[in-house]
Amino acid sequence: MSLKARITEDMKTAMRAKEAERLGTIRLLLAAMKQKEVDERIELDDAAVVGVIDKMIKQRKDSIAAFTQAGRTELADKEAAEVVVLEAYLPQRLGADEIAAEVKAIVAELGASGPGDMGKVMGAAKQRLAGKAEMGQVSAAVKAALAG
C-alpha cells in the first residue's frame, strides 16, 4: 500500500472514530499533497509525499517556537499534536552517527574538500537521504565533514 493510500485510509478511520484533531491534521496533509499534485501536474510517489510531510513538520516546529515565545501555550500544544500525527507517516529516521557516515561516503565519492563544495555535497545528500533524515542535521554533518 502506498503512503498516499495509507493516509487516505487513516482519514476514513479517524472519521469513523470521531477523532477530530487527528482528522483535521490528516485533511491538511491531504490538501497539501493535492495542491502539490495540481501545481506540478504530477502524481506524488512516496518520496514526494515524505517531502510534503517534512515541509509541514518544519512549518509546525517554527510555529511552536513562535507561539512559545509569545506565551501562547494552547496554540503551541495544538501544533505539537499535529507534529505527532505527521511524524507517524515518516519512515524510520537515521541517527546522527548514521548521517555522518553517509555524508562521509558522499564526500569521498565526490572528492569534495573545503566549504566551497558544500552545494555539490548537499545536492547528492538530499537525493540519497530524502525522507531518511532531517536536512538540518544533514547540513550540519556536511559542514563538519568539509571542515575537518
SS3 category, 15: helix
Percent of the chain's residues with pLDDT above 70: 99
Is 90 exceeded by the pLDDT of residue 144? no
Q: What is d(CA 118, CA 96) in angstroms, rounded to the nearest whole number?
A: 19
- What domains are there in the chain, each with its CATH number? 3-87 (1.10.1510.10), 96-147 (1.10.10.410)
DSSP H or E segment with residue 39 = helix 20-40
Q: Is 122 exposed, middle or buried (0-12, 13-18, 19+ CB in 10 A)?
A: middle
Q: What is d(CA 98, CA 79) in angstroms, rounded to the nearest whole number?
A: 29
Residues 6+ positions from 118 with CB-CB distance below 8 Å: 142, 143, 146
Is 80 exceeded by the pLDDT of residue 148? no
C-alpha cell at 2: 502506498
pTM exceeding 0.85: no
Largest distance between two CA atoms of the chain: 55
pLDDT in tens, 33-77: 999 999 999 998 888 898 899 899 999 999 999 999 999 999 999
Amino acid 38 reads V
Q: So what's the pLDDT on residue 124?
A: 85
pLDDT in tens, 76-98: 999 999 999 999 998 888 888 88
